[in-house]
Amino acid sequence: MADEPLVLGIETSCDETGVGVVRGRTLLADAVASSVDEHARYGGVVPEVASRAHLEAMVPTIQRALRQAGVSARDLDAVAVTAGPGLAGALLVGVSAAKAYAYALGKPLYGVNHLASHICVDQLEHGPLPEPTMALLVSGGHSSLLLAPDITSDVRPLGATIDDAAGEAFDKVARVLGLGFPGGPVIDRYAREGDPAAIAFPRGLTGGRDPLYDFSFSGLKTAVARWVEARRRDGQEVPVADVAASFQEAVVDVLTRKALRACKDNGVDHLMIGGGVAANSRLRALALERCEGAGIRLRVPRPGLCTDNGAMVASLGSEMVARGRAASTLDLPADSSLPVTEVSVPGHSHPDPHEDGHPQGHGHGHDHAHDHAHETGKDNLYG
């Protein structure tokens, strides 16, 4: 192996077939094939359709990524894959492909957590993650505040949504407004023309006695639906841009408020935001404004690396290799409900699950994160 590992990452947890190639913390290729158009008419991702699309896209997308990176499969040092959480059938396609490549090439396989990958991807843009990292993870299936002393082995949830995920709320509100699927990008677009103060939608779990770091978006979604229905009942036109902007403001206000609070309470001077909703332009702007006001450094990957992709999986795989974490065995299962605390999945026949490489393990590999030489001098690492 050269001094920096060349790692292929495969992501198939939802409707994106993502394949990335990284060398160390350098992104070489990021190929994504999406089946989103096939799901649009159903108003949500249809698992069987997604699995079939992954199957068809897998080999061409891997070939495209290798071509883009200018490497051949034989050059790879490791293959990383999303082992969960996500849609069971969809995950299985990626895990099977990763096993096939790892076995055929005789290279180690790393089954990793999708959520930790959403955080680790930022290393490709902004250098090593600080330790601990405070992360706001907001996607279609998850909304959590996470404190990660070590992104390859130790991720601790401080709070999470008690009902809908932030992305789910965007998707459901878009449906109410008749804007199609997925809702996030289209609400983001409409909101630019609207007034965020037009309608005072509720901010969930922000009362004095509410849990500090948990989220709730289900009440907000219902409030938007009721407001829109009342308008329609009265025969009035629905001001789509104002509703979108006011709804979006309610979501990002709560997300950023709680994330900053978590930073302050835990003495962490930076904030990482990851997951599909981190592509939201208003979330990025408000987080930047509030972080600057509080002396907190913001790290958000560019939008293309916030939504699902293979580069994020390659990034976490590469970090696992660099830290000497144990690889997964070839009987690695796909785990649709993999908890956020389990950064990697050892596989059924792993010799000693309590050794290095286990989610709770502590590796003795060279600790790259203490070498901050690559870090940029920018104050806020954004986009």
Q: Does 35 bind ligand KG4 (CB under 6 A)?
A: no
The residue (of 44 and 353) whose beta carbon lies closer to Zn ion is 44
Q: How far apart are CA 13 and CA 10, in angstroms?
A: 10
The residue (of 277 and 326) whose beta carbon lies closer to ligand KG4 is 277
Among the residue ranges 1-9, 144-152, 167-175, 323-331, the one whose residues contact ligand KG4 (CB under 6 A): 167-175
Any known ligand binding at 204? no
Among the residue ranges 65-73, 178-186, 215-223, 349-357, the one whose residues contact ligand KG4 (CB under 6 A): 178-186
Q: Give the dihedral of Cα atoms 310, 359, 107, 96; nearest 10 deg.
A: -60
Any known ligand binding at 171? yes
The residue within the footprint of ligand KG4, chosen from 185, 194, 196, 204 (CB under 6 A), is: 185
Any known ligand binding at 280? yes
The residue (of 65 and 169) whose beta carbon lies closer to ligand KG4 is 169
Q: Does 183 bind ligand KG4 (CB under 6 A)?
A: yes
Among the residue ranges 22-30, 228-236, 276-284, 369-377, the one whose residues contact ligand KG4 (CB under 6 A): 276-284
Any known ligand binding at 177? no
CB 183, min distance to ligand KG4, A: 5
Any known ligand binding at 141? yes
The residue within the footprint of ligand KG4, chosen from 6, 8, 10, 14 (CB under 6 A), is: 14
Pick what 89 binds: ligand KG4, Zn ion, none; C-beta below 5 to 8 Å, kind-dependent: none
The residue (of 139 and 344) whose beta carbon lies closer to Zn ion is 139
- Contacts with Zn ion by CB under 5 A lie at 139, 308
Range 120-139, binding ligand KG4 (CB under 6 A): 139
CB 242, min distance to ligand KG4, A: 17
Which residues, at least 6 apart from 341, have a Cβ–Cβ distance to it below 8 Å?
155, 156, 157, 359
CB 50, min distance to ligand KG4, A: 12
Q: How far apart are CA 155 and CA 136, in angstroms?
A: 12
CB 239, min distance to Zn ion, A: 31
Binding residues, by number, are 114, 118, 137-141, 171, 184, 188, 280, 308
Binding site as annotated, residues for Fe cation: 114, 118, 308
Contact residues toward ligand KG4 (CB under 6 A) are 14, 139-141, 167, 170-171, 182-185, 188, 275-277, 279-280, 307-308
